[in-house]
Amino acid sequence: MEPMTVEDDSNPSVPSFLYPSDYVEKVGFCYTSYCNIHCAHCCSDCGPWRTEKFDPALVVELLDEIKGLGTEISGFTGGEALAYQDEILWILSEARPLGLKYSVATNCSFAEDIERARDLIGKLKALGLASMFVSYDVYHAPFIHPACIVNAVTACKELGLSVRLYAHQRVEDKGIESLLPEEVLAGLDIVSGRIIPAGRAADLQLAEADWNPHFYEGFCDPKSSLMIYPDGSVMPCCAIANSSANLALGNVRKEKLADIVARYRRSPYFRFIKTKGFSRLYKAACMVAPGTRDERFVETCGFCKYIVENDAIMAAIQSILAENDIAVCNELLDGIAEFAEAGALSE
């Protein structure tokens, strides 16, 4: 593979090395790794054989801590969180005095019948549900009848709930427009994503066009949206984080969420990827570990995973970011190069 050239990593919309927002916008729960289906592209490797799940009482306690952060939004994803719909309803009912708003991500398998869809979504809305995130694409289609998606979306629209459809595909896959009726897709907030080769998706063959040669031009989402997993680990996102234990910020079973969030806010790495992006880090990674030039990535998240799982690269980046004043972190590359030349790093 030809070495890539990074021309420019400036982003005029991000003027400073600071979090654009000074608070955590959302803290959600990966409520379970259980899923009633097993899509081939599941980067979390969820399925009917998985048993990890939250204790509902712990979630209620944590929602209180989330509110204490000044955060107003939480949510539930999985796996299929609505496989435990009675527990989710109980949690929202217990936590109702907190006045939080919620999202739920679902594969809509609960919505085989429109009346059941209206009933469950109506109950959730009465307890604070503000938005529904629906996942559907060519990988869900073998397990989930399109009518389930139609019913869930219809019920959300009737109830005035925000609904967003997430669809992932490879270049060669059928698009969402060939899977669902036009009238359901009309006016829907649709987020199309690429297949990231992590979890089970690592077994899918990607074509040349699926890889993004300009992946390093991206940023980590500047909003702070954390995710708590059933083992208590707190991750900076729900992307592929759960397949990268190195991304963990802390564990709510051992420390207060507020302390974990404080550590996250101080983290030079997360501040850097959210405000400066990945192009400088890509150049740094290529210096520290020249084999990086031969790696291919689909999105910034795949490269982020690569960085945090590579001890030499991560140690180099963290040393530079920790030893320099935040204002001079634009000199990161020079610092990395000096470290490399001094032989302080092993590849």
Give the nearest distance from C-beta 239 to ligand SF4 in angstroms. 4
- By CB under 6 A, tell whether 241 contacts ligand SF4: yes
Say whether residue 35 binds ligand SF4 (CB under 6 A): yes
Whole-number Å distance between alpha carbons of 161 and 101: 12
User: Of the listed pieces 172-180, 300-308, 317-325, 334-342, which binds ligand SF4 according to CB under 6 A?
Assistant: 300-308
Binding of residue 111 to ligand SF4 (CB under 6 A): no
Residue of 299, 280, 302 whose CA lies nearest to 213: 299
C-beta pairs of 333-341 under 8 Å, 24+ apart in sequence: 333/280, 333/283, 333/284, 333/287, 336/284, 336/287, 336/288, 337/287, 339/288, 340/287, 340/288, 340/316
Q: Is 173 in the site for ligand SF4 (CB under 6 A)?
A: no
Name the residue with tokens 């070495």: 3
Figure out which of the listed residues 38, 116, 123, 125 binds ligand SF4, where binding follows CB under 6 A. Answer: 38
Half-sphere exposure of 187 (CA within 13 A, CB side): 7
Binding to ligand SF4 (CB under 6 A): which residues in 126-165? 135, 140
Considering only 148, 304, 313, 340, the residue that binds ligand SF4 (CB under 6 A) is 304
The residue from 240, 298, 321, 340 that contacts ligand SF4 (CB under 6 A) is: 240
Interface with ligand SF4, residue 236, by CB under 6 A: yes
Q: Is 224 in the site for ligand SF4 (CB under 6 A)?
A: no
Question: Residue 107, Cβ neighbours under 10 Å: how many?
Answer: 26
> What whole-number distance in Å separates Cα of residue 267 and Cα of residue 77?
25
Query: Which stretch of DSSP H or E encloses residue 156?
Result: helix 146-158
What is the closest distance, in whole angstroms, from the C-beta atom of residue 237 to ligand SF4 in the complex?
3
Shortest Å distance, C-beta 308 to ligand SF4: 8
| Contact between 279 and ligand SF4 per CB under 6 A | no
Tokens of 342: 């001094």
Question: Is residue 42 part of the contact set for ligand SF4 (CB under 6 A)?
Answer: yes
The DSSP 8-state label assigned to residue 34 in this structure reads: B
Give the pair of three-digit tokens for residue 178.
């060939």
Answer yes or no whether residue 30 interacts with ligand SF4 by CB under 6 A.
no
Q: How far apart are the C-alpha atoms of 319 and 263, rounded to whole Å?
A: 16
Residue closer to ligand SF4 (CB basis): 95 or 165: 165
41 and 193 Cβ atoms separated by less than 8 Å: no
Residue 112 backbone class (left: φ over 0; alpha: ψ -120 to 50; beta: rest): alpha
Alpha-carbon gap, residue 212 to 203, rounded angstroms:
18
Minimal distance, residue 310 CB to ligand SF4, in Å: 14
Q: How far is the CB of 43 from ligand SF4 (least distance, A)?
A: 8
39 binds ligand SF4 (CB under 6 A): yes
- Candidates 112-120, 151-159, 237-245, 325-333: pick the segment binding ligand SF4 (CB under 6 A): 237-245
> φ, ψ for residue 163 (rounded to 5)?
-135, 130
197 near ligand SF4 (CB under 6 A): no
Q: Whose Cβ is closer to ligand SF4: residue 191's or residue 328's?
A: 191
Which of 24, 27, 30, 46 is the binder for ligand SF4 (CB under 6 A)? 46
Question: Rule CB under 6 A: which residues touch ligand SF4?
Answer: 35, 37-39, 42, 44, 46-47, 78-80, 107, 135, 140, 220-221, 236-237, 239-241, 273, 300-301, 304-305
